[in-house]
Structure 1
Amino acid sequence: MTFGDGTTDAAPMPSAPVVRIDCRALRTNVEAMLLRSDGEYSVADLRHDAWGHGASPVGRALLALGVDAFLVDERSGNGLAEELRGAAVGASGGPTLDSAEAFGLPGTGGIPVMRLTGSVLVVKALRAGEGVSYGFAHRAAADTRVALVTGGYAHGIVRGLGGRAGVVIRGSRHPIVGRVAMDVCVVDIGDADVRRGDAVVFFGAGANDPSVGEWTEATGLTAAELVTAVGLRAIREYIT
Protein backbone atom coordinates (compact mmCIF):
# COMPACT_ATOMS: atom_id res chain seq x y z
CA MET A 1 0.00 0.00 0.00
CA THR A 2 1.09 3.57 -0.56
CA PHE A 3 1.63 5.80 2.45
CA GLY A 4 1.19 9.58 2.35
CA ASP A 5 -0.49 12.09 4.62
CA GLY A 6 -0.28 15.11 2.33
CA THR A 7 1.99 16.94 4.77
CA THR A 8 4.24 19.48 3.07
CA ASP A 9 5.43 21.71 5.87
CA ALA A 10 6.32 19.28 8.68
CA ALA A 11 9.52 19.85 10.60
CA PRO A 12 12.42 17.79 9.25
CA MET A 13 13.09 14.52 11.03
CA PRO A 14 16.09 12.16 10.94
CA SER A 15 15.81 9.87 7.92
CA ALA A 16 17.43 7.03 9.88
CA PRO A 17 16.99 5.73 13.41
CA VAL A 18 19.18 7.21 16.12
CA VAL A 19 21.40 5.23 18.49
CA ARG A 20 22.09 6.98 21.78
CA ILE A 21 25.16 5.74 23.63
CA ASP A 22 25.07 6.47 27.37
CA CYS A 23 28.72 6.91 28.36
CA ARG A 24 27.65 7.31 31.99
CA ALA A 25 26.24 3.79 32.03
CA LEU A 26 29.36 2.53 30.24
CA ARG A 27 31.60 4.05 32.91
CA THR A 28 29.48 2.60 35.71
CA ASN A 29 29.66 -0.89 34.20
CA VAL A 30 33.40 -0.77 33.62
CA GLU A 31 34.17 0.75 37.02
CA ALA A 32 32.42 -2.23 38.64
CA MET A 33 34.57 -4.65 36.62
CA LEU A 34 37.77 -2.77 37.43
CA LEU A 35 36.96 -2.90 41.13
CA ARG A 36 36.47 -6.67 40.93
CA SER A 37 39.75 -7.07 39.06
CA ASP A 38 41.63 -5.57 42.03
CA GLY A 39 44.09 -3.57 39.97
CA GLU A 40 45.06 -6.27 37.49
CA TYR A 41 46.24 -5.22 34.01
CA SER A 42 43.08 -4.42 32.03
CA VAL A 43 42.43 -4.87 28.30
CA ALA A 44 39.21 -3.70 26.60
CA ASP A 45 37.92 -4.79 23.19
CA LEU A 46 37.33 -1.94 20.70
CA ARG A 47 37.06 -4.14 17.63
CA HIS A 48 34.13 -3.78 15.23
CA ASP A 49 34.02 -0.11 16.24
CA ALA A 50 33.54 -1.11 19.88
CA TRP A 51 30.65 -3.40 18.96
CA GLY A 52 28.95 -0.55 17.15
CA HIS A 53 29.26 1.84 20.09
CA GLY A 54 32.12 3.87 18.58
CA ALA A 55 35.74 2.91 19.23
CA SER A 56 37.00 6.45 19.68
CA PRO A 57 34.48 7.76 22.28
CA VAL A 58 34.36 4.41 24.09
CA GLY A 59 38.17 4.24 24.16
CA ARG A 60 38.44 7.76 25.58
CA ALA A 61 35.87 6.99 28.28
CA LEU A 62 37.68 3.81 29.31
CA LEU A 63 41.11 5.44 29.19
CA ALA A 64 39.86 8.02 31.70
CA LEU A 65 38.93 5.13 34.01
CA GLY A 66 42.46 3.75 33.87
CA VAL A 67 42.03 0.89 31.38
CA ASP A 68 45.55 -0.10 30.34
CA ALA A 69 45.22 -1.45 26.80
CA PHE A 70 42.83 -1.96 23.91
CA LEU A 71 42.23 -4.53 21.21
CA VAL A 72 41.45 -2.78 17.92
CA ASP A 73 40.79 -3.62 14.30
CA GLU A 74 44.00 -3.49 12.27
CA ARG A 75 42.86 -0.69 9.96
CA SER A 76 41.85 1.61 12.83
CA GLY A 77 44.86 1.02 15.05
CA ASN A 78 47.02 4.00 14.01
CA GLY A 79 44.26 6.58 14.32
CA LEU A 80 43.18 5.30 17.72
CA ALA A 81 46.77 5.20 18.92
CA GLU A 82 46.94 8.97 18.42
CA GLU A 83 43.74 9.49 20.43
CA LEU A 84 44.44 7.02 23.19
CA ARG A 85 47.92 8.10 24.15
CA GLY A 86 49.03 6.50 27.38
CA ALA A 87 47.43 3.15 26.56
CA ALA A 88 48.65 0.20 24.56
CA VAL A 89 46.67 -0.11 21.32
CA GLY A 90 46.60 -3.43 19.50
CA ALA A 91 47.47 -5.44 22.59
CA SER A 92 48.09 -9.13 22.04
CA GLY A 93 45.95 -11.83 23.61
CA GLY A 94 42.31 -11.48 24.53
CA PRO A 95 40.41 -8.81 26.47
CA THR A 96 40.29 -9.03 30.24
CA LEU A 97 37.14 -6.89 30.45
CA ASP A 98 33.85 -8.47 29.39
CA SER A 99 32.48 -6.31 26.55
CA ALA A 100 28.98 -7.72 26.99
CA GLU A 101 28.91 -6.47 30.58
CA ALA A 102 30.58 -3.18 29.64
CA PHE A 103 27.80 -2.47 27.15
CA GLY A 104 25.06 -3.80 29.46
CA LEU A 105 23.87 -6.62 27.24
CA PRO A 106 21.15 -8.97 28.55
CA GLY A 107 22.19 -11.47 31.20
CA THR A 108 25.32 -9.61 32.35
CA GLY A 109 23.89 -7.42 35.09
CA GLY A 110 25.30 -4.32 33.42
CA ILE A 111 23.26 -1.20 32.67
CA PRO A 112 22.24 -1.09 28.98
CA VAL A 113 24.36 1.50 27.19
CA MET A 114 22.62 1.64 23.79
CA ARG A 115 19.12 2.97 23.08
CA LEU A 116 17.64 2.81 19.57
CA THR A 117 14.86 5.18 18.53
CA GLY A 118 13.08 6.07 15.30
CA SER A 119 10.36 8.54 14.34
CA VAL A 120 6.79 8.25 13.11
CA LEU A 121 6.66 9.38 9.49
CA VAL A 122 3.00 8.80 8.66
CA VAL A 123 -0.17 7.59 10.41
CA LYS A 124 -2.78 5.97 8.20
CA ALA A 125 -5.98 3.96 8.49
CA LEU A 126 -5.79 0.28 7.55
CA ARG A 127 -9.03 -1.48 6.71
CA ALA A 128 -9.82 -5.11 7.50
CA GLY A 129 -8.18 -7.33 4.90
CA GLU A 130 -5.69 -4.73 3.68
CA GLY A 131 -2.02 -5.67 3.77
CA VAL A 132 1.24 -3.89 4.55
CA SER A 133 4.84 -4.11 3.39
CA TYR A 134 6.45 -6.65 1.05
CA GLY A 135 4.13 -9.35 -0.17
CA PHE A 136 1.34 -8.25 2.17
CA ALA A 137 2.51 -10.93 4.63
CA HIS A 138 0.42 -9.16 7.26
CA ARG A 139 -3.23 -8.33 6.66
CA ALA A 140 -5.39 -6.49 9.14
CA ALA A 141 -7.89 -8.72 10.92
CA ALA A 142 -10.07 -5.65 11.62
CA ASP A 143 -10.06 -1.94 10.92
CA THR A 144 -7.07 -0.34 12.61
CA ARG A 145 -4.41 2.34 12.16
CA VAL A 146 -0.75 1.92 11.38
CA ALA A 147 2.34 4.11 11.63
CA LEU A 148 5.23 4.10 9.18
CA VAL A 149 8.42 4.40 11.24
CA THR A 150 12.00 5.27 10.32
CA GLY A 151 14.29 2.24 10.62
CA GLY A 152 14.66 -0.85 8.45
CA TYR A 153 17.01 -3.70 7.73
CA ALA A 154 19.53 -1.28 6.19
CA HIS A 155 19.94 0.05 9.74
CA GLY A 156 20.28 -3.34 11.41
CA ILE A 157 16.59 -3.72 12.30
CA VAL A 158 16.24 -7.36 11.38
CA ARG A 159 13.55 -8.35 8.87
CA GLY A 160 12.32 -11.16 11.11
CA LEU A 161 11.13 -8.76 13.82
CA GLY A 162 7.82 -8.25 12.01
CA GLY A 163 5.10 -9.99 14.01
CA ARG A 164 7.61 -10.95 16.72
CA ALA A 165 8.64 -7.74 18.43
CA GLY A 166 7.20 -4.38 19.37
CA VAL A 167 8.11 -0.76 19.93
CA VAL A 168 7.06 1.87 22.46
CA ILE A 169 5.41 5.12 21.37
CA ARG A 170 4.25 7.62 23.98
CA GLY A 171 4.72 5.02 26.70
CA SER A 172 2.60 2.29 25.09
CA ARG A 173 3.70 -0.91 23.36
CA HIS A 174 2.73 -1.55 19.73
CA PRO A 175 3.64 -4.51 17.51
CA ILE A 176 5.76 -4.33 14.38
CA VAL A 177 3.69 -5.87 11.57
CA GLY A 178 4.58 -7.17 8.13
CA ARG A 179 8.10 -7.56 6.79
CA VAL A 180 10.62 -4.92 7.86
CA ALA A 181 11.61 -2.94 4.75
CA MET A 182 14.97 -1.45 3.85
CA ASP A 183 14.49 1.93 5.51
CA VAL A 184 11.18 1.71 7.37
CA CYS A 185 8.85 -0.62 9.23
CA VAL A 186 5.13 -0.60 9.99
CA VAL A 187 3.62 -0.56 13.49
CA ASP A 188 -0.01 -1.31 14.37
CA ILE A 189 -1.14 1.52 16.67
CA GLY A 190 -4.90 0.84 16.82
CA ASP A 191 -6.69 3.88 18.23
CA ALA A 192 -3.69 5.17 20.22
CA ASP A 193 -2.87 8.88 20.11
CA VAL A 194 0.17 8.67 17.83
CA ARG A 195 1.27 11.52 15.58
CA ARG A 196 3.84 12.29 12.93
CA GLY A 197 7.19 13.05 14.56
CA ASP A 198 6.60 10.98 17.71
CA ALA A 199 9.64 9.13 19.02
CA VAL A 200 9.60 5.35 18.61
CA VAL A 201 11.70 3.23 21.00
CA PHE A 202 12.99 0.00 19.46
CA PHE A 203 15.02 -0.94 22.55
CA GLY A 204 16.60 0.78 25.52
CA ALA A 205 17.18 0.84 29.25
CA GLY A 206 13.92 2.40 30.42
CA ALA A 207 11.52 0.41 32.57
CA ASN A 208 8.97 0.28 29.75
CA ASP A 209 11.44 0.00 26.86
CA PRO A 210 11.72 -3.19 24.79
CA SER A 211 15.05 -4.90 25.39
CA VAL A 212 17.74 -6.32 23.14
CA GLY A 213 16.87 -9.64 24.77
CA GLU A 214 13.49 -9.59 23.01
CA TRP A 215 15.31 -9.20 19.70
CA THR A 216 17.57 -12.16 20.42
CA GLU A 217 14.55 -14.35 21.13
CA ALA A 218 12.78 -13.16 17.98
CA THR A 219 15.73 -13.52 15.60
CA GLY A 220 18.08 -16.17 17.01
CA LEU A 221 20.98 -13.70 16.74
CA THR A 222 23.16 -12.83 19.71
CA ALA A 223 22.85 -9.52 21.53
CA ALA A 224 26.41 -8.67 20.45
CA GLU A 225 25.53 -9.22 16.78
CA LEU A 226 22.41 -7.09 17.06
CA VAL A 227 23.92 -4.05 18.79
CA THR A 228 26.96 -4.12 16.50
CA ALA A 229 24.80 -4.18 13.37
CA VAL A 230 22.58 -1.37 14.62
CA GLY A 231 25.41 0.76 15.98
CA LEU A 232 27.37 0.63 12.74
CA ARG A 233 24.41 1.69 10.59
CA ALA A 234 22.30 4.16 12.55
CA ILE A 235 23.01 7.79 13.45
CA ARG A 236 24.99 7.81 16.72
CA GLU A 237 24.67 10.34 19.53
CA TYR A 238 26.47 10.31 22.86
CA ILE A 239 25.33 11.13 26.38
CA THR A 240 28.37 12.10 28.42
Structure 2
Amino acid sequence: MTSPTAARVAVSRGALAANARRVAAHGGIADLRRDAYGHGAGVVASALFDAGVRSVVADERDREAVARAGLAVTDVSPTIDPRALFGLPGSAGEPALRLSASVLSVKRLRAGEGVSYNYTHIAPRDTRIALVSGGFGQGVVRALGNRVSVEIGGAVHPIVGRVAMDVCVVDVGAAPVARFDEVVYFGGAGPARHALAEWERATGLRGTELVGALGLRLAREVVA
Protein backbone atom coordinates (compact mmCIF):
# COMPACT_ATOMS: atom_id res chain seq x y z
CA MET A 1 0.00 0.00 0.00
CA THR A 2 1.33 3.44 -0.94
CA SER A 3 1.95 5.84 1.94
CA PRO A 4 -0.39 8.88 1.90
CA THR A 5 2.68 11.12 2.28
CA ALA A 6 4.60 9.60 -0.66
CA ALA A 7 5.28 11.46 -3.88
CA ARG A 8 2.47 10.90 -6.39
CA VAL A 9 1.21 11.99 -9.78
CA ALA A 10 -2.26 13.11 -10.84
CA VAL A 11 -3.30 13.10 -14.48
CA SER A 12 -6.00 15.59 -15.50
CA ARG A 13 -8.68 14.08 -17.72
CA GLY A 14 -9.88 17.59 -18.59
CA ALA A 15 -6.44 18.79 -19.69
CA LEU A 16 -5.95 15.67 -21.80
CA ALA A 17 -9.35 16.17 -23.44
CA ALA A 18 -8.60 19.82 -24.26
CA ASN A 19 -5.16 18.99 -25.64
CA ALA A 20 -6.51 16.05 -27.64
CA ARG A 21 -9.11 18.25 -29.29
CA ARG A 22 -6.41 20.74 -30.21
CA VAL A 23 -4.05 18.21 -31.77
CA ALA A 24 -6.87 16.27 -33.45
CA ALA A 25 -7.78 19.35 -35.46
CA HIS A 26 -4.73 18.53 -37.60
CA GLY A 27 -5.33 14.75 -37.66
CA GLY A 28 -2.44 12.32 -37.40
CA ILE A 29 -1.07 9.48 -35.31
CA ALA A 30 -0.40 9.84 -31.58
CA ASP A 31 2.52 8.38 -29.65
CA LEU A 32 1.39 6.39 -26.58
CA ARG A 33 4.60 4.51 -25.92
CA ARG A 34 5.94 4.20 -22.37
CA ASP A 35 2.35 4.01 -21.09
CA ALA A 36 1.61 7.31 -22.85
CA TYR A 37 4.75 8.84 -21.32
CA GLY A 38 3.57 7.91 -17.84
CA HIS A 39 0.10 9.44 -18.24
CA GLY A 40 -1.67 6.08 -18.67
CA ALA A 41 -2.28 4.64 -22.12
CA GLY A 42 -5.94 3.82 -21.46
CA VAL A 43 -7.04 7.26 -20.26
CA VAL A 44 -5.07 9.05 -22.98
CA ALA A 45 -6.45 6.72 -25.66
CA SER A 46 -10.00 7.51 -24.54
CA ALA A 47 -9.36 11.25 -24.78
CA LEU A 48 -7.90 10.83 -28.25
CA PHE A 49 -10.83 8.72 -29.45
CA ASP A 50 -13.33 11.31 -28.21
CA ALA A 51 -11.35 13.98 -30.07
CA GLY A 52 -11.40 12.04 -33.35
CA VAL A 53 -7.95 10.44 -33.44
CA ARG A 54 -8.11 6.81 -34.57
CA SER A 55 -4.50 5.54 -34.80
CA VAL A 56 -1.66 5.44 -32.29
CA VAL A 57 1.75 3.93 -31.72
CA ALA A 58 1.84 1.91 -28.49
CA ASP A 59 3.95 -0.66 -26.65
CA GLU A 60 2.83 -4.27 -26.79
CA ARG A 61 1.75 -4.30 -23.14
CA ASP A 62 -0.65 -1.38 -23.73
CA ARG A 63 -2.29 -2.58 -26.94
CA GLU A 64 -5.26 -4.11 -25.17
CA ALA A 65 -6.02 -0.89 -23.27
CA VAL A 66 -5.72 1.10 -26.50
CA ALA A 67 -8.02 -1.31 -28.34
CA ARG A 68 -10.66 -1.05 -25.59
CA ALA A 69 -10.72 2.70 -26.22
CA GLY A 70 -11.48 2.04 -29.89
CA LEU A 71 -8.11 2.98 -31.36
CA ALA A 72 -6.00 1.06 -33.85
CA VAL A 73 -2.31 0.44 -33.19
CA THR A 74 -0.01 1.16 -36.11
CA ASP A 75 3.71 0.87 -36.82
CA VAL A 76 3.71 4.13 -38.78
CA SER A 77 5.81 6.87 -37.19
CA PRO A 78 3.71 9.19 -34.98
CA THR A 79 2.90 12.63 -36.35
CA ILE A 80 1.33 14.26 -33.26
CA ASP A 81 3.84 16.01 -31.02
CA PRO A 82 3.58 14.44 -27.52
CA ARG A 83 4.51 17.81 -25.99
CA ALA A 84 1.27 19.26 -27.36
CA LEU A 85 -0.81 16.27 -26.27
CA PHE A 86 0.51 16.29 -22.70
CA GLY A 87 0.97 20.05 -22.31
CA LEU A 88 4.73 19.87 -21.87
CA PRO A 89 7.16 22.81 -22.11
CA GLY A 90 7.39 24.21 -25.61
CA SER A 91 3.72 23.65 -26.38
CA ALA A 92 0.51 25.62 -25.98
CA GLY A 93 -1.22 22.70 -24.25
CA GLU A 94 -2.54 22.45 -20.72
CA PRO A 95 -0.15 20.57 -18.37
CA ALA A 96 -1.81 17.19 -17.92
CA LEU A 97 0.41 15.75 -15.19
CA ARG A 98 0.88 17.12 -11.68
CA LEU A 99 3.62 15.89 -9.36
CA SER A 100 2.99 16.40 -5.68
CA ALA A 101 4.32 15.16 -2.35
CA SER A 102 4.14 15.95 1.37
CA VAL A 103 6.14 17.69 4.06
CA LEU A 104 7.50 14.97 6.35
CA SER A 105 9.08 17.20 8.99
CA VAL A 106 10.23 20.76 9.63
CA LYS A 107 13.23 21.86 11.67
CA ARG A 108 15.49 24.83 12.25
CA LEU A 109 18.80 25.23 10.42
CA ARG A 110 21.44 27.58 11.78
CA ALA A 111 23.71 29.78 9.68
CA GLY A 112 26.80 27.83 8.63
CA GLU A 113 25.14 24.40 8.87
CA GLY A 114 25.05 22.15 5.82
CA VAL A 115 22.23 20.26 4.12
CA SER A 116 22.10 16.71 2.75
CA TYR A 117 25.01 14.72 1.30
CA ASN A 118 28.37 16.50 1.00
CA TYR A 119 26.83 19.75 2.22
CA THR A 120 26.44 21.28 -1.22
CA HIS A 121 24.28 23.91 0.47
CA ILE A 122 25.44 25.83 3.53
CA ALA A 123 22.83 28.00 5.22
CA PRO A 124 23.80 31.68 4.85
CA ARG A 125 21.49 32.60 7.74
CA ASP A 126 19.27 31.01 10.36
CA THR A 127 16.24 29.50 8.67
CA ARG A 128 13.82 26.55 8.68
CA ILE A 129 13.93 23.57 6.37
CA ALA A 130 11.33 20.98 5.41
CA LEU A 131 12.06 17.36 4.60
CA VAL A 132 9.85 16.51 1.62
CA SER A 133 8.92 13.14 0.08
CA GLY A 134 10.23 12.42 -3.40
CA GLY A 135 13.81 11.65 -4.42
CA PHE A 136 15.82 10.28 -7.30
CA GLY A 137 14.42 6.82 -6.60
CA GLN A 138 11.03 8.13 -7.69
CA GLY A 139 12.25 10.25 -10.62
CA VAL A 140 13.01 13.55 -8.86
CA VAL A 141 16.35 13.94 -10.62
CA ARG A 142 19.49 14.54 -8.54
CA ALA A 143 20.47 17.54 -10.68
CA LEU A 144 17.47 19.48 -9.32
CA GLY A 145 19.16 20.11 -5.97
CA ASN A 146 20.03 23.80 -5.46
CA ARG A 147 18.49 24.61 -8.85
CA VAL A 148 14.67 24.48 -8.74
CA SER A 149 11.84 25.28 -6.36
CA VAL A 150 8.60 23.70 -5.16
CA GLU A 151 5.23 25.13 -4.21
CA ILE A 152 3.91 24.86 -0.64
CA GLY A 153 0.80 26.72 0.44
CA GLY A 154 0.79 28.80 -2.73
CA ALA A 155 4.35 30.07 -2.20
CA VAL A 156 7.58 29.00 -3.90
CA HIS A 157 10.52 27.61 -1.89
CA PRO A 158 13.91 26.36 -3.17
CA ILE A 159 15.18 22.80 -2.97
CA VAL A 160 18.53 22.98 -1.15
CA GLY A 161 21.32 20.42 -1.01
CA ARG A 162 21.48 17.14 -2.90
CA VAL A 163 18.32 15.26 -3.74
CA ALA A 164 18.42 11.95 -1.85
CA MET A 165 16.94 8.59 -2.88
CA ASP A 166 13.48 9.16 -1.38
CA VAL A 167 13.46 12.74 -0.07
CA CYS A 168 14.76 16.24 -0.63
CA VAL A 169 15.13 19.33 1.55
CA VAL A 170 13.36 22.66 0.99
CA ASP A 171 14.23 26.01 2.59
CA VAL A 172 10.90 27.37 3.86
CA GLY A 173 12.23 30.27 5.95
CA ALA A 174 9.54 31.79 8.17
CA ALA A 175 6.62 30.51 6.05
CA PRO A 176 3.86 28.72 8.01
CA VAL A 177 4.80 25.28 6.68
CA ALA A 178 3.93 22.23 8.77
CA ARG A 179 4.11 18.46 8.63
CA PHE A 180 1.75 16.85 6.09
CA ASP A 181 1.37 20.05 4.04
CA GLU A 182 1.11 19.36 0.32
CA VAL A 183 4.13 20.05 -1.87
CA VAL A 184 3.75 20.62 -5.62
CA TYR A 185 6.82 20.02 -7.76
CA PHE A 186 5.11 21.02 -11.01
CA GLY A 187 1.65 21.16 -12.59
CA GLY A 188 -1.62 22.16 -10.95
CA ALA A 189 -2.99 25.68 -10.98
CA GLY A 190 -0.52 27.50 -8.72
CA PRO A 191 2.92 29.06 -9.20
CA ALA A 192 4.50 25.65 -9.90
CA ARG A 193 2.17 25.09 -12.86
CA HIS A 194 4.91 25.42 -15.49
CA ALA A 195 7.89 24.46 -13.30
CA LEU A 196 8.66 21.45 -15.50
CA ALA A 197 10.45 23.90 -17.81
CA GLU A 198 12.85 24.60 -14.92
CA TRP A 199 13.42 20.86 -14.60
CA GLU A 200 14.36 20.70 -18.27
CA ARG A 201 16.88 23.51 -17.89
CA ALA A 202 18.35 22.07 -14.68
CA THR A 203 18.73 18.50 -15.95
CA GLY A 204 19.19 18.80 -19.70
CA LEU A 205 16.43 16.20 -20.11
CA ARG A 206 13.30 16.60 -22.22
CA GLY A 207 9.90 16.93 -20.62
CA THR A 208 8.82 13.64 -22.20
CA GLU A 209 11.71 11.87 -20.46
CA LEU A 210 10.99 13.47 -17.10
CA VAL A 211 7.23 12.80 -16.97
CA GLY A 212 7.68 9.33 -18.44
CA ALA A 213 9.99 8.30 -15.60
CA LEU A 214 7.70 9.78 -12.94
CA GLY A 215 4.48 8.33 -14.29
CA LEU A 216 5.96 4.85 -14.48
CA ARG A 217 7.44 4.87 -10.96
CA LEU A 218 4.85 6.60 -8.80
CA ALA A 219 1.27 6.01 -7.76
CA ARG A 220 -0.95 7.64 -10.38
CA GLU A 221 -4.46 9.03 -10.02
CA VAL A 222 -6.75 10.27 -12.78
CA VAL A 223 -8.61 13.44 -11.78
CA ALA A 224 -11.16 15.69 -13.44
Q: TM-score, normalised by structure 2?
A: 0.93
For residues 143-197 of structure 1, the C-alpha deviation after alignment (integer angstroms, 9 at most, x for no partner) is: 1110000100111101011110001111111100000001100000111100001
Equivalence for 2:36:
50
Deviations 1:103-124 (A, max 9, x none): 0011111111111111000000
Q: 1: distance between equivalents of 2:56 and 2:76?
A: 10
- Residue 155 in structure 1 maps to residue 155 in structure 2: no
Look up the match of 1:74.
60
User: In the aligned structure 2, how far is the partner of 1:87 from the partner of 1:22?
Assistant: 20
Give the SS at the match of 2:24: helix
| Pairwise CA distance, 1:14 | 2.2
**TM-score with structure 1 length normalisation?**
0.87
* Residue pairs, 1:77-156, within 5 angstroms: 77=63, 79-80=64-65, 82-84=67-69, 86-89=70-73, 91-156=74-139
CA distance in 1, matches of 2:190, 2:132: 22
C-alpha contact (below 8 Å) 2:5/2:180 kept by paired residues: no
Correspondence 1:25 to 2:15: yes
CA–CA distance in structure 1, aligned partners of residues 45 and 136 of structure 2: 28
2:172 to 189, 195, 208: 189
Residues 1:59 and 2:69 are matched in the alignment: no
Structure 1 distance, partners of 2:9, 2:113, is 32
Kept in 1: contact 2:154–2:190 (CA 8 A): no
Task: Quote the residue 1:218 is aligned against.
Answer: 202
Contact preservation (8 Å) 1:111, 1:205: no
Task: From the superposition, tell whether residues 142 and 229 of structure 1 become closer, same or farther in structure 2 (CA, over 3 Å).
Answer: same
Q: Tell me the SS of whatever aligns to 1:19.
A: strand
- The one-letter code matched in structure 2 to 1:236 is R
d(CA) in 2 for partners of 1:73 and 1:222?
20
Alignment: residue pair count: 222
Distance 2:105 2:181 in 1: 10
Where has structure 1 moved over 4 Å in runs of 4 or more? none
Equivalent position amino acid for 2:152 in 1: I
Match of 1:229 in 2: 213
Q: Which runs of 5+ in 2 are unaligned?
A: none
Tell me if structure 2 keeps the 8 A contact 1:16–1:155. no
Name the Cα RMSD after superposition: 1.7
Q: CA deviation at 1:57?
A: 1.5
Q: Give the one of 191, 195, 207 matched to 1:208.
A: 191
Secondary structure at the aligned position of 1:110 is classed as coil
